[in-house]
């Protein structure tokens, strides 16, 4: 017969639980409320938003901001381009980073320390913008959609994370057993290492995806053809054009300027939602692997 010892909860335990719950609830509110406010402000009457009349619930619901954003045909071109750059870029990133990290994790790979030193060197020193521009020009990548994909094929930080995972999470005995069965390094990587690495693949995949989705600087500096611009540049131009309209209306009269500025602010909130919503929607599907993957390298008992 197995005895179970139940510890009665003291008033101190109950008080601690209540305080802890309230603290967590407060931190959750402080984290989520700015995002929630942007969403409700994007569909509320801009006059009420400007005067502080919108706090927790949308009031005077107006879809003017989204109508202005989605009525612009450039938004669909930007979405198409960004999805293309994100999908192709993330696939290339994983195809390059994972094999490189696996090779650098093998202790029998003699030059791995030298190669890691060279990789780490690039994290602290780079050639600068002008040499980068000249290099991309000589490679015929200026005003080419591949400029969003090829120059950022490897992120050294993600490479180090993946290398640590392969080195610490895959037992050496597993490789020895596969070798006895006749598997080589490539077969072990494809058939065993990758299926066991979904956590790290989802983590660095999400990092790469967000990096490509939010890429603004590349399109601003290296691309001139508007049909190749990503979503972030398109949204920036829509926002600037509406703010310019608000400024021009302000010169015609105070009332007109105030009206235009208010709706320009609503468009600004709508732009934030449009640019971040796809990544926020995707995250829950990767959360299970992401929570496991971010613990790589932590202290294990």
- Of 183, 168, 129, residue with least CA distance to 151: 129
Would you kindly state where each structural domain of the chain is located, as residue ranges? Answer: 2-67, 72-242
Angle between helices 254-293 and 64-71 (to 10 degrees): 80
pLDDT value of residue 134: 92
Distance CA 163, CA 271 (A): 37
> Residue 283: pLDDT above 90?
no
* Contact predicate 272/38, CB 8 Å: yes
pLDDT tens, residue by residue, 117-154: 999 898 888 888 898 999 999 999 998 999 999 998 99
Phi and psi angles of residue 4, each rounded to the nearest 5 degrees, phi first: -115, 130
> Residue 47: pLDDT above 60?
yes
- Of 52, 75, 44, 65, residue with least CA distance to 264: 65
> Residue 202: pLDDT above 60?
yes
Sign (positive or negative) of CA dihedral 247, 251, 252, 254 = positive
How many other C-beta atoms can be found within 10 angstroms of the C-beta atom of residue 99? 17
Q: Assign domain 72-242 to a CATH class.
A: mainly alpha
DSSP codes of every residue in 39-72:
HHHHHS-HHHHHTT--SSS--S---HHHHHHHHS
Tokens at residue 129, please? 């913008």
Phi and psi angles of residue 197, each rounded to the nearest 5 degrees, phi first: -120, 30
Start-to-end CA span in the chain (Å): 31
Average of per-residue pLDDT across 47-62: 80
The mean of the pLDDT values for the chain is 81
pLDDT value of residue 95: 94
Residues in the chain: 301
Distance CA 245, CA 281 (A): 32
* Contact predicate 194/201, CB 8 Å: yes
pLDDT value of residue 148: 93
Average of per-residue pLDDT across 20-49: 87
* Contact predicate 147/141, CB 8 Å: yes
Alpha-carbon distances of 2 from 5, 179, 220, 295, rounded to whole Å: 10, 46, 70, 36
128: left (phi over 0), alpha (psi -120 to 50) or beta: left
Tokens at residue 53, please? 């009349």
> Residue 272: pLDDT above 70?
yes
Tokens at residue 91, please? 């696939």
């Amino acid at each position: 017969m197995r005895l179970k010892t139940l510890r009665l909860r003291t008033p101190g335990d109950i008080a601690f639980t209540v305080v802890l719950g309230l603290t967590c609830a407060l931190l959750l509110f402080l984290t989520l409320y700015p995002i929630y406010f942007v969403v409700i402000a994007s569909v509320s009457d801009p006059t009420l938003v400007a005067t502080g009349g919108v706090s927790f619930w949308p009031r005077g619901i107006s879809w003017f901001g989204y109508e202005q954003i989605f009525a612009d045909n450039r938004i669909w071109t930007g979405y198409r381009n960004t999805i293309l750059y994100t999908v192709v870029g993330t696939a290339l990133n994983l195809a390059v980073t994972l094999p490189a990290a696996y090779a650098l994790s093998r202790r029998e790979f003699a030059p791995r320390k030298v190669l890691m030193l060279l990789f780490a060197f690039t994290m602290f020193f780079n050639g600068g913008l002008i040499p980068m521009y000249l290099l991309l020009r000589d490679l015929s990548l200026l005003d080419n959609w591949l400029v969003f994909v090829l120059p950022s094929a490897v992120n050294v930080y993600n490479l180090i994370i993946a290398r640590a995972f392969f080195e610490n999470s895959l037992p050496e005995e597993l490789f020895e057993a596969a070798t006895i069965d006749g598997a080589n390094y490539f077969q072990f990587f494809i058939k065993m290492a990758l299926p066991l690495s979904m956590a790290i693949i989802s983590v660095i995949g999400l990092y790469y995806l967000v990096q490509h989705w939010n890429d603004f600087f590349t399109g601003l500096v290296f691309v001139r053809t508007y049909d190749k611009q990503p979503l972030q540049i398109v949204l920036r131009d829509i926002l600037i054009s509406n703010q310019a309209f608000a400024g021009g209306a302000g010169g015609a009269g105070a009332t007109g300027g105030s009206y235009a500025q208010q709706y320009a602010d609503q468009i600004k909130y709508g732009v934030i939602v449009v640019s971040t919503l796809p990544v926020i929607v995707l995250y829950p599907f990767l959360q299970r692997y992401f929570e496991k993957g971010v613990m790589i390298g932590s202290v294990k008992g």
